[in-house]
C-alpha cells in the first residue's frame, strides 16, 4: 500500500513561541503608546517636532535598556533584544541542561568559564541592540525629514526588526562573533554532563 505523508512526529507546534512574541509585541506597543501620548502633549505646545521626537525616542530607549539590564522589570519588553539568548537557553534546556542553575556535579571551573563566556556574549548582544536603537532613531529622523509617515504600530515594529537585523547581521559577520559563539558552545560542552541528553 502506498504511503503519502511523512510519518515523522516531531511534536506539535509550540504555541508558547507564538504567545511569547505576541506578548512582546504588546509590550512594545504599550511602550510606544506612552511615548506617543507624551509626544502628542509636547507637540501641542511646541513647533520643534524633531526635538520632541528625539526626546521621546530617548524615553523608549530608556525603557528598553532598563528592561535589558534587569529583565525582571519588564520581561516582555526585555524579549525585544534577548531573542537569541533566549533561543540558546531553550536549546540547551531541550538537550537536558539547565540554563541558569549548575547541577551539583558540574565542574565549577568549567561552569564559571561558561558563565563568563555567556556574559561576554550577552554584552556583545547588548551592544548590537543599542546600535539597533541608534539606527532606528536615525531612520525615524530621516522619515520625519522626508515627510514619510509611519501609520501603524506594526510598521514601527517592522522597522525595529529591520534595524536589529542590520546591526545583528553586522555583528554576526564579524570575526569577534565567530570566535565568541564558538567559545560559548565549547565552554558549554565542557560543563555538559554526558547522558543528560533528553532526545
Positions in 27-56 near other proteins (CB under 8 A): 29-30, 32-33, 35-37, 39-40, 53, 56
Q: Considering Cα of 162, then 164, then 165, then 170, what sign does the dihedral take?
A: positive
> Contact 78/67 with Cβ under 8 angstroms?
yes
Near other proteins in 55-114, by CB under 8 A: 56-57, 83-84, 86-88, 91, 94-95
CB nearer to other proteins: give 104 or 145. Answer: 145
Chain residues 139-178 in contact with other proteins, contact rule CB under 8 A: 140, 143-144, 148-154, 156-158, 161, 164-165, 168-169, 172-173, 178
What's the closest the beta carbon of residue 50 comes to other proteins, in angstroms? 10
Q: How far is CA 72 from CA 17, 20, 67, 88, in A?
A: 19, 15, 7, 19
* Residues that contact other proteins, how many (by CB under 8 A): 74
The Cα–Cα gap between 174 and 89 comes to 22
In the complex, least distance from residue 36 CB atom to other proteins, rounded to whole angstroms = 5
User: Are 197 and 95 in contact, with CB atoms under 8 Å apart?
Assistant: yes
122 binds other proteins, rule: CB under 8 A: no
Q: How many CB atoms lie within 10 A of CB 167?
A: 19
Amino acid at each position: 500500500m502506498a504511503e503519502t505523508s511523512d510519518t515523522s512526529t516531531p511534536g506539535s507546534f509550540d504555541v508558547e513561541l507564538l504567545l511569547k512574541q505576541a506578548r512582546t509585541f504588546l509590550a512594545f506597543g504599550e511602550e510606544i503608546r506612552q511615548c506617543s501620548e507624551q509626544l502628542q502633549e509636547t507637540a501641542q505646545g511646541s513647533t520643534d517636532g524633531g526635538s520632541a521626537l528625539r526626546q521621546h525616542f530617548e524615553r523608549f530607549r530608556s525603557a528598553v535598556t532598563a528592561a535589558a539590564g534587569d529583565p525582571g522589570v519588564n520581561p516582555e519588553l526585555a524579549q525585544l533584544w534577548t531573542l537569541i539568548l533566549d533561543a540558546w537557553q531553550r536549546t540547551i534546556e531541550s538537550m537536558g541542561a539547565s540554563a541558569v542553575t549548575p547541577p551539583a556535579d558540574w565542574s565549577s571551573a568549567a561552569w564559571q568559564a561558561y558563565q563568563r563566556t555567556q556574559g561576554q556574549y550577552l554584552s556583545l548582544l547588548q551592544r548590537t541592540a543599542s546600535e539597533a536603537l541608534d539606527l532606528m532613531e536615525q531612520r525615524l529622523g530621516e522619515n520625519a525629514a522626508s515627510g514619510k509617515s509611519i501609520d501603524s504600530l506594526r510598521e514601527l515594529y517592522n522597522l525595529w526588526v529591520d534595524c536589529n537585523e542590520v546591526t545583528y547581521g553586522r555583528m554576526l559577520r564579524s570575526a569577534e562573533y565567530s570566535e565568541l559563539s564558538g567559545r560559548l558552545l565549547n565552554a558549554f560542552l565542557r560543563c555538559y554532563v554526558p547522558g543528560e541528553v533528553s532526545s
